[in-house]
Amino acid sequence: MKKGILKNQEKGLSKPDSKSVTTAKSVVTDAEFVQQAILSRLSTLETKVKDLSSDNSRKERHIQSLQKQLHDVKQENKKLKNENNRLRSQVEKLSGGSTPTLNSQNSSTPPSKDTITNSQARARRTSSLREKSDRHIGGQPGHKGATLHQSEHVDKVEVANLATCPDCGANISKVEGKVAERRQVIDITLSRKWITEYISFEKECPVCGKKVRAPFPEGVNAPVCYGANLKAMVVYLVEEMNASTNKVKSFLGEVFSIHLCEATICNMVQDVKQRGLPAYKKIHDMMLDEEVVGGDETTENINGVLKWLWTWRSERLTYLAGGKGRGPKDFDSEYPDGFPKSTFVSDRLPLYYNVVAQGHQICIAHLLRNLIYLDQLDPMQDWSKRMQELLRDAIRQRKHIDWVDIDRADIVKRFEKLLDEPLDKLDIEFRRLQNSLRKWKDAVFTFLYNKKVPSDNNGSEREVRKAKIKMKVSQCFRSFKGAEAFDVLHSLMDTAKKNGQSAFNVIRAIAYPKAIADGVYLQF
């Protein structure tokens, strides 16, 4: 038996007993059980992980929903606050509260009509539509300045010469010297009045026996009359310097010993005005051929009667004319066919909308002042602020960006968006301005498409402001003839200055009878 066992062991074929077989089966069964238990546990854990992940997703969505609700609540709260402030403002208005006062900073009201209190004085002096610049006060680099330069043409030479040596006292009067330094003094001559006497001789013709006299020069038509230089000075002082006739009378008497009465001064002004009418008419006609024309109007007091002063201007022409009112008939009395060859620049006066022109440009400066008023009317809204930002951006691009790089499409898109924005909850003044801009929308950004078109109508306003300064000095024009003389002579003088000529010399040329050949004294 041992031999059989040994033989089997040698061959590796020993037969296990039944007990060992049972034990092995038990181990296998336990391992399978454990494996199944582990798998079951893993499955359970996976299920729990999935459930937890799903629960976290739900919680995250819930958190996002709560955050959105919180944001909506905040926005709604902000709107409610704004609405509350707006309602409070309206309640104050209805209960006797005041709206912003219209002045020159937030409307078209002229500065002369501003009511200034002590608290407002500083704000008015410092308030301006002009954006703050980084440039220093005074002349900028490259500015020519007003440095005095010696003239090549002098009227008199005074020699500073030494007769004796200041050190030793020797006589050096005959010693030849050389020029060491030149200095010039600029002054004026205060001459006395200059009287020229004209004598006409009478002769008897030896052939026919008739007695004849030599004619006097044109303009010498009285025993005593006044020359062109004197007339020119009088007109220049009265119309350009806005001096009263009384002050002109005093000046001529004290400086030149020429004693004129105020009636004579007025007659001189009328005489020169009459001589300048051909050139005045020429300016009127030439205005129709200008590429860009600006127009404006203002009131004028003529001896207690309220009339209107109109101005039309270009870069090289100025034309002033008086009218009874500011309606279409008054405009048409001067330019009934409008300006078909021109781009017309103006404020938003309704009659200007119907003026025939190649194009229109409304005054952006006026519009900005209107928007500033809306800011003051309702500080909580931002529509007027965004419109201001848009307009200022357009002006900035025109000034500082290459012409081809101006983003006109973006500017127009932003503008149309603001025009379409509902303003029902705001004051009626907002909707009025919005409706006005809808009407004029094609005339807001013309200056972005034509380099010669300005963004404002300040040039025309400066023209009519001269009449206001004149009336501020004298309170009013004494007569319609005086107001007409102002219109004619200022048109001539301003046109002369725009073309690089002296206003005084133009008046002198008009006053000289020989220079009346249909405006040859003006070089347009």
The pLDDT value given to residue 94: 57
Predicted pLDDT of residue 518: 42
SS (H, E, C) 107-129: CCCCHHHCCCCHHHHHHHHHCCC
Q: Give a three-class secondary structure readout of 369-403.
A: HHHHHHHHHCCCCCHHHHHHHHHHHHHHHHHHCCH
Q: d(Cα 257, Cα 120) in Å, to the nearest integer?
A: 48
DSSP lists the bridge partners of residue 312 as 295, 319
Token pair of 235, please?
């007109």
Question: What's the pLDDT score for residue 1?
Answer: 45
> CA-CA distance, 441 to 387, in Å (whole number)?
13
For the beta carbon of residue 382, count every other beta carbon within 10 angstroms: 13
pLDDT tens digits, the chain, 524 residues: what are they?
444 444 444 444 445 555 555 555 555 567 777 878 888 888 888 888 888 888 788 888 888 888 888 888 888 888 887 777 777 666 655 554 556 776 666 666 655 555 555 444 444 444 555 656 667 676 677 666 656 788 888 888 888 888 888 888 888 888 888 888 888 888 777 777 888 898 988 888 888 989 989 888 877 888 888 888 899 999 999 999 988 899 999 999 999 889 999 999 999 999 999 999 999 999 999 999 999 999 999 988 888 888 899 999 999 999 999 988 888 898 999 999 999 999 999 999 999 999 999 999 999 999 999 999 999 999 999 999 999 999 999 999 999 999 999 999 999 999 999 999 999 999 999 999 999 999 999 999 999 999 999 999 999 999 888 888 888 777 678 888 989 999 999 999 999 999 999 999 889 888 876 654 444 455 65
Alpha helices in 244-382 (DSSP H): 245-256, 262-275, 277-286, 328-332, 350-353, 364-377
Query: In whole angstroms, what is the distance from residue 361 CA to residue 292 CA?
Result: 10
User: In this structure, which long-range contacts are made by residues 235-241, counting pairs with CB atoms below 8 Å and at least 24 apart in sequence?
Assistant: 235/268, 235/269, 235/272, 235/489, 235/507, 235/511, 236/503, 236/504, 236/507, 238/265, 238/269, 239/269, 239/485, 239/486, 239/489, 239/490, 239/493, 240/493, 240/503, 240/504
> Rounded distance, CA 461 to CA 447, Å?
18
Looking at 188-327, which runs of residues are DSSP E strands?
202-204, 211-213, 292-302, 305-313, 318-323
Q: What is the pLDDT of residue 13?
A: 45
In the chain, what are the domain boundaries?
55-92, 273-496
Alpha helices for 448-502 (secondary structure H): 458-474, 480-498
- 493: its two tokens: 């003088």
Pairwise CA distance, residues 16 & 7, whole Å: 15
Q: What are φ and ψ of residue 110, in 5° steps?
A: -65, 150
What distance in Å separates the CA atoms of residue 254 and residue 215, rounded to the nearest whole number? 35
Helix axes 228-235, 503-511, angle to 10 degrees: 140
> Quick one: pLDDT at residue 520?
44
Determine what percent of the chain falls in helix, strand and coil, rounding each to the nearest 5: 50, 10, 40
0.85 cut: is pTM over it?
no
Q: Mapping DSSP to helix (H, G, I), strand (E, B) and coil, where does residue 208 land?
A: coil
- CA dist., res. 9 & res. 198, Å (int): 171
* Element housing 342 (H / E): strand 339-346
The answer to whether 151 and 184 are in contact (CB under 8 A) is yes
Exposure class string for 479-489: b at 16+ Cβ within 10 A, else e: eeebbbbbbbb
